Amino acid sequence: MMLGSIGQIAIRAKDLPRAVRFYRDALGLKLLFEAPPGLAFFQAGDVRLMLSKPENPEFDHPGSILYFNTDDILATHQALTARGVVFRQAPHPVHRDGDRALWIGDFTDSEDNTFAIMQWRPNETQT
């Protein structure tokens, strides 16, 4: 038995209407639908994100960090910042590999979950 790609990720949201506004308006993700009792589903590339209130106290904590690929990390950072997204760290190189560098910038959502944007960029010449 082989695992396939990830189809859905659950993200805890203490205030669902606030979280829906953040994911839809600030991140620009497509809201697929809302379902009772207190669920909202978004499309993020090939993965569906499910926002929901924690079912039990043991699930009432921020989850794993999700990294969103982007074709232009600097433009994405600028657009998200203009929409009110607060970055913990602006995009910066975290690893160099030959003629390219991995850039990452991380931010929190309206529910204190951490996310990041990432892009492999050509190494810039140092002067």
CATH number assigned to the domain comprising residue 77: 3.10.180.10
6 close to 13: Cβ distance less than 8 angstroms: no
80 close to 86: Cβ distance less than 8 angstroms: no
For residue 35, count CB atoms less than 10 angstroms from its CB and return exposed for 0-12, middle for 13-18, buried for 19 or more.
Answer: exposed
In a domain, 72, yes or no: yes
Q: Which of 1-10, 51-60, 87-96 has the lowest mean pLDDT?
A: 1-10
Q: Specify the pLDDT at position 3.
A: 64
In a domain, 41, yes or no: yes
In a domain, 127, yes or no: no
In a domain, 109, yes or no: yes
Q: Specify the pLDDT at position 76.
A: 96
For residue 73, count CB atoms less than 10 angstroms from its CB and return exposed for 0-12, middle for 13-18, buried for 19 or more.
Answer: buried
Question: Does residue 115 carry a pLDDT above 60?
Answer: yes
Q: Which domain holds residue 35?
A: 8-55+62-122
Q: Specify the pLDDT at position 37.
A: 85
Average pLDDT over residues 6-11: 90
Question: Does residue 111 carry a pLDDT above 70?
Answer: yes
In a domain, 50, yes or no: yes
Average pLDDT over residues 95-111: 93
Average pLDDT over residues 117-125: 87
In a domain, 104, yes or no: yes
Hey, CA dihedral for 16, 19, 23, 24, is it positive or negative? Answer: positive
**More reliable by pLDDT, 82 or 58:** 82
What integer best gives the mean pLDDT of the chain?
Answer: 90
Confidence band, pLDDT 50/70/90 cuts, at residue 60: confident
Question: Does residue 6 carry a pLDDT above 90?
Answer: no
State how many domains the chain has.
1
